Structure 1
């Protein structure tokens, strides 16, 4: 077997190992979870996503959590100059 073919086989093997490792990490981190796929709304994801986030961040939203989600968001991104109420 030529040196080039041996190198190509080794590279293919290493690529397969890396691919499987990334898949395991993604699965462990729930990166495959997509609420829009579950709800069969992938084609409307951008509009739905924005509407959903706006509702969660609205202190007067139907979630009845008041400023909780907005405050968590502001804290996470270290936004200090915003009056949540």
Structure 2
């Protein structure tokens, strides 16, 4: 699953973005990646490991909801049906 969220550009400032990705690893665990930064600028990548799928999906959804609350808008969604990956 992957989501790409972005803020609305204000003035001449580049918009901020967050990309949240959830992938299953080769051993059956799950990895949640959260990349954030300014479009065309520096970015930060954080990685969290989960053993259970349900726990990983809950963390994915919590991260998504937090960014939507902060004013980010969903620009791209891949790998899950429904609005906002639900």
TM norm structure 1:
0.29
Q: Which has the higher strand share?
A: 2
- Higher helix proportion: 1
TM-score normalised over the length of structure 2: 0.29
